[in-house]
Amino acid sequence: MSFFRTEDISISFGGLKALNRVSFEISQGEIFSIIGPNGAGKTTIFNCISRFYDLQEGKIFWGDGEISHISPHLVANLGIARTFQNIELFKNMTVIENLLLGRHRHRRSNLFQEAIFSRAVREQEIKSREKAEEIIDFLDLQAYRDQVVAGLSFGLLKIVELGRALALEPSLLLLDEPSSGMNLEEVEDLSHWINDIKEKLGITILLVEHNMMLVAGVSDRVLALNFGEIITQGTPKKVMEDPEVIKAYLGEEGVFIKA
Amino acid letter, 100: L
pLDDT in tens, 31-59: 999 999 988 999 999 999 999 999 999 99
Length of the chain as a residue count: 259
Q: Which among 186, 250, 231, 180 is positioned nearest to 35, based on CA atoms?
A: 231
| 249-253: average pLDDT | 55
What lies within 8 Å, CB to CB, of 195 at 6+ separation is 31, 218
In the chain, where the domains are located:
1-79+170-259, 91-167
| 248-254: average pLDDT | 59
Instruction: Specify the pTM.
Output: 0.89
What lies within 8 Å, CB to CB, of 249 at 6+ separation is 37, 255, 256
Mean pLDDT of the chain: 89
What lies within 8 Å, CB to CB, of 113 at 6+ separation is 120, 121
What does CATH list as the number for 1-79+170-259?
3.40.50.300
- Per-residue confidence (pLDDT) for residue 257, from 0 to 100: 44
| 259 confidence band (pLDDT: 50, 70, 90) | very low
